A and B are shown apart, each in its own frame.
Chain A
Amino acid sequence: MHQAAGSAMSILEMKDITKTFPGVKALSNVSFRVEEGEIHCLVGENGAGKSTLMKVLSGVYPHGSYTGDILFNGQVQAFGGISDSEQVGIAIIHQELALVPELTVYENILLGNEITKGIRIDWNETIRRASQMLKKVGLNINPDTQVKNLGVGQQQLVEIAKALSREVKLLILDEPTAALNEDDCDNLLSLMDGLRKQGVTCVLISHKLKEVIRIADKVTVLRDGQTVITLDAHKGEVSEGSLIKHMVGREIDDIYPKRGHVRSEEVVLEVKGWCANELGNGRAVLKDMNFTLKKGEIIGFAGLMGSGRTELARSIFGNPDHYTMQGEMRVKGKKNHLTHPREAIAAGIAYASEDRKGNGLILIQDVRQNITLANLKAISHRNVVDANAEVKVANEYKTALAIKTPSIEQIVGNLSGGNQQKVSVAKWLFVNPDVLILDEPTRGIDVGAKYEIYTIMNKLVEKGMSIIMISSELPEVLGMSDRVYVVSSGRIAGELPIAEATQEKIMQMATSC
């Protein structure tokens, strides 16, 4: 599939890169070649291996932790860390910006690369150099400004200026436009065009196919940790259709268990005009979202990472974090104004977080304690926990969900990802909610465990529970949902009955804003 190697013009060539994590093959014989002076886009679904590949390239995963070769400027490289890759002129700009907010723009640009005169920093020269770099990226600001006072788009440009100050040869941008508004996006793309004219080579990772089509010289598509194809824009091979086809590519395997459809027309949850604005700067995160959930139904929320799905789920669950909320929500016809997860649980809503380890489970506690945490009242008399009742409950869920653990006294942190997910689901089932929100329920777990989670979901809806499933994996959304809502840039971009939903349609909606 991959093109023949050997052109003298290649600035970067990655050959047969394979990277495995315990239990998962993240990259499998990936080849990736970038010619000097081009903008090369890397696209693929979430989890396709784009970020892993770039981490291999930049030395985050050091030489020896993967197999395969990296050739940069024709020389085989063995990076032991990020500083090694920076040394040869590779700069990577991550989605999460790596600037120090309290420092000024010029301090940030020359951070780690300070211009010195003896043992003192030469501030005049520093400011002069920084201003020069700012001009290069077309950013017209005072270099004395603190970075925290800049918008995200400007910060991104500062970061690029920082990379340029190190005489970068290959600039990697990891979803730089994900957090930007349209004007900032436009600016950034124009800048990349300008840099291309100055001879800087760029690798752009992006989910937004429109911008890929606008800017790319070549596009490489990754899927399931493998290179699918490299398309050449100048030969007219790059179009939205061709990209989506290669990104999605696979047949949906029959890994989704069938269920009897029991959904009724009774609306369990109704959300109207749901808006969220960030506290402080007022940036709109969710914009006028409307949706309904019926009894015994699974609705899928598809969309890209950062599109606002998790913010939506958490705000429904009464935990809007640092947002101010507007809009109306009805649970079983009753209007609710939830200000804390406690109230959401009482209203019959449960939310199993996407980040099991970060805010889903208490890893240092055992299975039993995690399962009962959200509903200790049910096994307590006068606020004293009944130890026998607790053991009984925990064992019931252990059996019902087939949680593989030596005992319910096992520390949750020692379980595998799939079993942790089951513990997290068990915790919320013990609350016995009407609406169960599952945020990325199968992220990072193997196929067997996925099947078990799907089976559990089917059993729940057959009993009359309603499920909202947020997922970045399109096959899963299509395989499990009764209806699909596509979220894009904080808006509901569309609703699809499952009969009409296809991966291509969802992708198109998800990348529409």
Chain B
Amino acid sequence: MIVKDFQKVLRQNIREYGMYIALFVIMAYFTFATKGVFISSRNIANLINQTGYIAVLAVGMTLVIVIRHIDLSVGFLAGFLGAISAIAMSSWGWSGPMSALLALALGLVAGLGTGFLVARLGIPSFVATLAGWLIYRGALLLVTLNTGTIIIDNAFYNSLGNGYVPDALGFLKFLPGVHKLTLLLGLLAIIYFIQSEFKTRRSKLAYDFEVLTKDIFTIKLVFVSALMACVTWVLAGYNGISWTLVIVGIVVVLYDFITTQTVLGRHIFAVGGNPDAAELSGISVKRIIFVVFGSMGLLAGLSGILFASRLQSATTTAGTLFELDAIAAAFIGGASAAGGVGKVTGSIIGALVYMSLTSGMNLMGIDISSQYIVRGAVLAAAVIFDVSTRRGRK
């Protein structure tokens, strides 16, 4: 009975669970192939910090793809904005927080500029952002022309990509060497997860909506909680929660909330699902394009900060291919090129899948040429899987 239920649930949700399964398989494989190095606390912590600057781009890109557009300019925009904030600190003597805010503000302006080209002037986003790609690349080279790589020595700024949340509970004596605050937060997260699952289930039952059977629901709770506990334990074994993880977490929670709970989110998905119908429902499609590209620019600024901070410097090639990684992550995460479909959380998983591949293959010492081929194959496989399951449901 349980097995049957389980198969049914799996079949109905194969698209959503597919990515999680894929991530799980990939991580398990690399753990096995690297004799456990991959799953070590240190490597996972690194993996998360490396995923951060792609993950925030993927979140913004998801919305861009949902409204049937694309943004190719964000990679070099991120690199350029990282360089600007580095210059603000090194040459103009700005403080770390102010320099970071500058990058975010300029990112927002750049994004709105793209929105203007697309919404007001009707230029296809592919072309408008290809132009942006060239311009920002040139701009990055220009500002780093005299100095080359700009070293950043601001402690606040560098902690964003490398630092960890200090252990406020470090005075406790038990489990030496384990990050106690992380354990506490992990525990709280698990409790919150279980509680909210029960709440959703109750309200769905109240409306006679279909819910998981009791057995499957229990299995789901136990499984996800166990997974969260594992991740918590692994993270707590190194330095705990990194600031990058905190930042990405805030972005994901915020964007997930906006896309699933707010009027704005509904309007974005309506525009993606059918722009004509959305316009005729009183939604200004142009305004939505401005909002989505504006947010994309803002997140490009954030990505640039995380990357420059991670390297503790601004380089002449920063941001190269970020946009394609972000696009790939969004598609692996289930976004549809036809528009109207995509999930912020999915794209984060997509980014994790993508960066796990890179990290795992690096650990295994696989040549970069083969890495590209594998990543391309995984992207193609993910989209083929997505398309075929979509068709199967119709």
* B-binding residues in A (CB < 8 A): 317, 319, 340-342, 344-345, 351, 353, 358-365, 369, 373-374, 376-377, 380, 383-385, 387-388, 391, 395, 407, 409, 427
Contact = CB atoms under 8 A, between A and B. Distances in A.
B270 A427 contact: no
Contacts of A380: 262-263
A362 B284 contact: no
Given A359-B274, A362-B340, A409 B266 contact: no
Given A342-B282, A361-B274, A385 B340 contact: no
Contacts of B209: 407, 409
A344 B281 CA distance: 10
15 contacts: A341-B279, A359-B277, A361-B274, A363-B273, A363-B274, A364-B273, A365-B270, A380-B263, A384-B263, A385-B261, A385-B266, A387-B261, A388-B203, A407-B210, A409-B209
Given A342-B283, A384-B263, A427-B281, 4 more contacts: A340-B284, A342-B282, A359-B276, A380-B262
A359 B209 CA distance: 29
A359 B283 CA distance: 13
Contacts of A387: 203, 261
Nearest to A388: B203
A369 B266 contact: yes
Contact of B277 (A344, A361, A377, A409): A361
Contacts of B283: 342, 373
Interface in B269-300: 269-270, 273-274, 276-284
B340 A365 contact: yes
B257 to A, nearest CB: 8
B284 A342 contact: yes
B264 interface: yes
B341 interface: yes
Interface centre among A317, A380, A383 (most CB of B within 10 A): A383
B394 to A, nearest CB: 8
A364 B269 CA distance: 10
B207 interface: yes
A254 B355 CA distance: 68
A344 B262 CA distance: 23
B281 A373 contact: yes
B273 A391 contact: no
A345 B274 CA distance: 19
A146 B263 CA distance: 47
Given A380-B263, A388-B203, A409-B209, A362 B270 contact: yes
B341 A364 contact: yes
B262 A341 contact: no
Contacts of A365: 269-270, 273, 340
Nearest to A340: B284
Contacts of B262: 380, 383-385
Nearest to A376: B263
Contacts of A342: 282-284
Contact of B274 (A362, A384, A388, A409): A362
Given A341-B279, A365-B273, A383 B264 contact: yes
Interface centre among B261, B267, B274, B340 (most CB of A within 10 A): B274
A387 to B, nearest CB: 8
Contacts of A341: 279-282
- Of the four ranges (under 10, 10 to 19, 20 to 34, 35 or more), the interface on chain B belongs to 20 to 34
A177 B388 CA distance: 45
B280 A319 contact: yes
Given A369-B266, A383-B263, A388-B203, A364 B340 contact: yes
B334 to A, nearest CB: 13
Contacts of A427: 281
Given A359-B276, A364-B340, A374 B282 contact: yes
Contacts of B273: 362-365
Contacts of B284: 340, 342
A409 B266 CA distance: 15
Q: Which 3 A-B pairs have the closest CB atoms?
A: A359-B276, A362-B273, A342-B282
Contacts of B282: 340-342, 344-345, 374
B50 to A, nearest CB: 34
B39 to A, nearest CB: 38
Given A365-B340, A388-B203, A360 B266 contact: no
Given A365-B270, A376-B266, A380-B263, A359 B203 contact: no
Nearest to A428: B281
B278 A362 contact: yes
A360 B277 contact: yes
Contacts of B267: 376
Contacts of B278: 362, 373
Contacts of B207: 391, 395
B307 to A, nearest CB: 32
Nearest to B340: A364
A374 B263 contact: no
B289 to A, nearest CB: 15
A360 B208 CA distance: 28
Contacts of A362: 270, 273-274, 277-278, 340
Nearest to B341: A364
A373 B280 contact: no
A407 B266 CA distance: 20
A123 B207 CA distance: 70
A374 B267 CA distance: 9
Nearest to A342: B282
Contact of B280 (A360, A385, A409): A360
A318 to B, nearest CB: 9
A365 B267 CA distance: 12
A381 to B, nearest CB: 10
Nearest to A317: B280
Nearest to B281: A374
B97 to A, nearest CB: 28
A377 B281 contact: no
Contacts of B263: 376-377, 380, 383-385
A317 B279 CA distance: 11
A352 to B, nearest CB: 9
A365 B270 CA distance: 8
A342 B341 CA distance: 24
B182 to A, nearest CB: 31
A372 to B, nearest CB: 8
Interface centre among A360, A362, A377 (most CB of B within 10 A): A362
Interface in B332-366: 340-341
A377 to B, nearest CB: 7
Contacts of A364: 273, 340-341
A250 B202 CA distance: 56
A468 to B, nearest CB: 15
A151 B267 CA distance: 39
Contacts of B208: 407
Interface centre among B270, B281, B284 (most CB of A within 10 A): B281
A412 to B, nearest CB: 10
B19 to A, nearest CB: 19
Nearest to A379: B263
Contacts of A384: 261-263
B24 to A, nearest CB: 28
A369 B261 CA distance: 12
A328 to B, nearest CB: 23
A458 B379 CA distance: 55
A18 B284 CA distance: 45
B281 to A, nearest CB: 4
A403 B323 CA distance: 44
A105 to B, nearest CB: 28
Given A341-B280, A341-B281, A409-B209, A373 B270 contact: yes
A353 B274 CA distance: 13
Interface in B246-276: 261-264, 266-267, 269-270, 273-274, 276
A317 B207 CA distance: 36
Nearest to A407: B209
Nearest to A372: B266
B264 to A, nearest CB: 7
